[in-house]
Amino acid sequence: MNLSRLARVARTEWRHQVRRPLFWVLLVLLLLVVWGVSSGNVTIASGSSEVGGKKAWMTSEFAVAQTVMLLTFLLFTFFVSVGAGMSVISDDEARVQPLLHTTPLTPAEYVWGKFLAVLGAYVLALGVLMGLLVFFHHVVPAGDSAEFRGPFALRHYVRPVLWFGLPLIVFMAGAAFAMGERTRRAVPVYFLPVGLFFLCAFFLWDWSPGWLDPRVNRFLMAVDPGGYRWLTETWIKVDRGADFYNTQPVGLDALFVTSRCVLMALGLGAVAWSERHFRRALRGEVNVRTSRAARNRLIEPPPAQVALSHAEAPLAALGMVVRPPGFWAGLATVTRAEAWGLLSQPGLYLFLPLLLLQMVSQAATAVGPFDTELLLVPGRFAVRSMNQASVLVCLLLMFYVVESLERELSSGFSPIHDALPVRTLSVLLGKALANGLVAVALLTVMALAGTLVQVSQGRVPLSLTPYVAVWGLLLLPTFLLWTAFILAARAVTGGRFGTYALALGALGLTGFLAVREDLTWVTNWPLWDAVRWTDLGAFQVDRAAAHAGGRGPGRGPGAGGGRLPDEGHVHAGEPA
């Protein structure tokens, strides 16, 4: 391996990564989120701080570890996956690799140079995150949050970044890079962060019943790539007081250190596996999608030449007529073609069984008060699954819609496609409708999971009406709005990565407002925690406060009064 050529590849790719809108939107998101959490919203909930005693500092190592872990997992994983996974695919689409093969560049220099560049770019972003935390915690005037700020200690920021942020970035960059190099398809790359987010946010971090075997619990701590379960189960679940969290470092045990090292090793091992596969593909030992297509074009015999007779009639005698297709005909054609292409992709068939398994296990093991068995009721299950459904469908719709818009360009079909007399509205709407099958498939699998658990419990009558009412009536407008936003973002940015940047930025800001509990009826477009279920009525508005006392002085809208109980919530609600 020639270090000079390796450095040249890494330097070229690094410049490309840091100039992308994707990278700069991540930095802007980090700035806004860190600015928001610096007001004291992310602290350790200890008993003494709730009764007027000493406050838990947001500058402690425990609080910074939580912040770094959550921001790295919720923001970096998606941006890193897009940057690393699309690195080789972008060269394929730009037809750059045939030129590279004419140079002395070796597969190892090419693969490791591109990976190190992507990793270096997002490690730089991780350093920016640490700098922003230090700046907003210790340089910006404290104001009302002064009681939540302690003295500056560099180790409070360096250790969380090294143990919680860096291993996750190395793993995601390596895994996404390997997925992109191996499949040469964008959609499998995007399934990786979505699946990881779903597994961790809705299972590994939240599921911890009292009857769980401690050995199983420690195993789940070890496989959690974010480290959140280990941190909460080991140090935060049992309150140790504000003084402990403010002054003590996060104690690392052998389990956590080993899991972090294994996580980084898996990421680097995935890159080594990619380098080996890339070398074998160049030698013709294995086939890849792009090289196989190119080889077929090279070995395909030329079409036989047909001798034309001068006695043949002119083309005008055939009476052929060309009519541009109307709106509905073009829409039907585009929708049918896009739906067929969507159903032929293997990524969805790999993700749906995993989703079904996870939903069934989560619903079957749900417990109520005192660890009692919780019976699954269709309406409550539909409402409780709305958050998961909206997040998953929006993420997958983002990836599928963007890639469907890029498919003609990446396949070289765009000159013919753009010359066709099909209306632009028919093309865009057809792609949107076809990709809506992703939402239908996910919601169908979730409804099937609830039905299977109901059948196994044998207590609650089966009914599909709540699923149709809750998901169909409430979530369908959300998905239509989100798809329209993706199409508009693609039109504004004119490229794949700018669209991802705007879409991930919108999701990130919405999630940030949700964590701060600042969502309103305007900003809560995904309907997170906005609906309740009951069998007493169908989506009745909560008018309890108005019925009880009417609108007295200072209680009407615009009077500046306090927030009404359950304001903005829609009742399909729970029994009182």
More confident residue, 123 or 199: 123
Rounded CA gap, 366 and 369, in Å? 10
Indicate if the pLDDT at residue 479 is higher than 70.
Answer: yes
Indicate if the pLDDT at residue 549 is higher than 80.
Answer: no
In the three-class reduction of DSSP (H, G, I as helix; E, B as strand; rest coil), residue 572 is classed as strand
pLDDT of 414: 80
pLDDT (average), residues 3-9? 90
Rounded CA gap, 59 and 154, in Å? 10
**Structure confidence by residue, pLDDT tens digits, 342-369:** 877 766 776 788 778 778 877 877 777 7
**Structure confidence by residue, pLDDT tens digits, 178-191:** 999 888 888 788 88
Provide the terminal-to-terminal Cα distance of the chain, rounded to the nearest Å.
70
Indicate if the pLDDT at residue 258 is higher than 60.
Answer: yes
Beta pairing, strands 531-533 & 570-572: parallel
Indicate if the pLDDT at residue 293 is higher than 50.
Answer: no
pLDDT of 93: 77
pLDDT (average), residues 411-417? 79
Rounded CA gap, 345 and 343, in Å? 6
pLDDT (average), residues 539-549? 53
pLDDT of 409: 79
**Structure confidence by residue, pLDDT tens digits, 457-470:** 888 888 888 888 88
Q: What is the DSSP secondary-structure string of 350-362?
A: HHHHHHHHHHHHH
- HSE of 374, CA atoms in CB hemisphere, 13 A: 18
Indicate if the pLDDT at residue 551 is higher than 50.
Answer: no
Rounded CA gap, 47 and 239, in Å? 7
Give the model's confidence band at 222: pLDDT under 50 very low, under 70 low, under 90 confident, else very high: very high
CB 63 within 8 A of CB 42: yes
Rounded CA gap, 406 and 536, in Å? 48
Indicate if the pLDDT at residue 172 is higher than 90.
Answer: yes
**Structure confidence by residue, pLDDT tens digits, 485-502:** 999 999 998 888 889 889
pLDDT of 273: 93
Give the model's confidence band at 40: pLDDT under 50 very low, under 70 low, under 90 confident, else very high: low
pLDDT of 560: 37
CB 537 within 8 A of CB 490: no
pLDDT of 287: 59
Q: Identify the burial level of 553 via C-beta atoms within 10 angstroms of its C-beta, where 0-12 means exposed, 13-18 middle and 19 or more buried.
A: exposed
Give the lowest-confidence range in 126-135, 167-176, 197-206.
197-206
Helix (H) or strand (E) holding 199: helix 186-199
Rounded CA gap, 326 and 425, in Å? 11
Among residues 148, 154, 161, the alpha carbon closest in space to that of 134 is found at 154
Among residues 169, 161, 200, the alpha carbon closest in space to that of 64 is found at 161
CB 109 within 8 A of CB 5: yes
Q: What is the DSSP secondary-structure string of 244-295?
A: HHHHS-----HHHHHHHHHHHHHHHHHHHHHHHHHHHHHHTSS--HHHHHHH
List the structure tokens of 250. 């996060």
Tell me what the pLDDT averaged over the chain comes to.
Answer: 80
Give the lowest-confidence range in 91-95, 236-240, 277-281, 311-315.
311-315
Instruction: Return the biggest CA–CA distance within the chain.
Output: 103
Give the model's confidence band at 534: pLDDT under 50 very low, under 70 low, under 90 confident, else very high: confident
More confident residue, 116 or 290: 116
List the structure tokens of 453. 């658990």
Rounded CA gap, 119 and 176, in Å? 11
List the structure tokens of 118. 């992507």
Region label for 130, one of left (φ > 0), alpha (ψ between -120 and 50) or beta (otherwise)? alpha
Among residues 128, 174, 97, the alpha carbon closest in space to that of 30 is found at 128
Rounded CA gap, 427 and 25, in Å? 29
CB 30 within 8 A of CB 79: no
pLDDT of 143: 66
More confident residue, 228 or 40: 228
Q: Outline where DSSP puts E strands in 57-212.
A: none
Task: Give phi and psi for 79, each to the nearest 5.
Answer: -65, -40
Give the model's confidence band at 312: pLDDT under 50 very low, under 70 low, under 90 confident, else very high: low
Rounded CA gap, 537 and 232, in Å? 39
Among residues 110, 66, 68, 59, the alpha carbon closest in space to that of 88 is found at 110
pLDDT (average), residues 240-249? 87
pLDDT of 546: 43
pLDDT (average), residues 390-415? 85
Give the model's confidence band at 294: pLDDT under 50 very low, under 70 low, under 90 confident, else very high: very low
Q: Identify the burial level of 310 via C-beta atoms within 10 angstroms of its C-beta, where 0-12 means exposed, 13-18 middle and 19 or more buried.
A: exposed
pLDDT of 571: 37
Indicate if the pLDDT at residue 566 is higher than 60.
Answer: no
pLDDT of 183: 85
Among residues 186, 1, 214, 207, the alpha carbon closest in space to that of 112 is found at 1
Beta pairing, strands 570-572 & 540-541: antiparallel
pLDDT (average), residues 118-132? 95
pLDDT (average), residues 83-89? 89
More confident residue, 42 or 472: 472
Rounded CA gap, 569 and 249, in Å? 41
Give the model's confidence band at 64: pLDDT under 50 very low, under 70 low, under 90 confident, else very high: very high
